[in-house]
Amino acid sequence: MQIFEIDDAAEQPHISWTNRNELKLELNDEGTVSVCKHEVADIKIKYVVPKWMWDSLGAIESDHVRDDRQSEELFKAGKMSQDDLRVSLQTIQAVAEERATFRQWVLDNATVDVDAVANGQPTKR
């Protein structure tokens, strides 16, 4: 039985038992989550993303605008063809959409591990 599946992630999540009834999956990379179970039998499953990953997901729109601008500047400078510009802008848009989808998955399903929390517990974003 699959409890979690993520596509396009270069690194597999780190899995550990927090107690005999709770499994923790710490994600190390973003991707498209296609399977995400929160409980199997009597085992609860907790998903955690590191703060650095959460912070990078917050820059989706600014990254998208910057990358679009860079591609358009290359096109205007004659260093990129019209077809290459179109492909570049489509690729940038697809990446932004994937990252936004992953960010929403984190909001709906995971906890962000924040080191600076006073009680030392991860915080839900």
Q: What pTM, to 2 d.p., does this model score? A: 0.81
- pLDDT tens digits for 78-87? 999 999 999 9
DSSP tally for the chain: helices H, then strands E = 3, 7
Q: What is the mean pLDDT of residues 49-73?
A: 90
pLDDT at 114 over 50: yes
CB atoms within 10 A of CB 67: 17
pLDDT at 123 over 70: no
- pLDDT tens digits for 9-23? 888 899 999 999 999
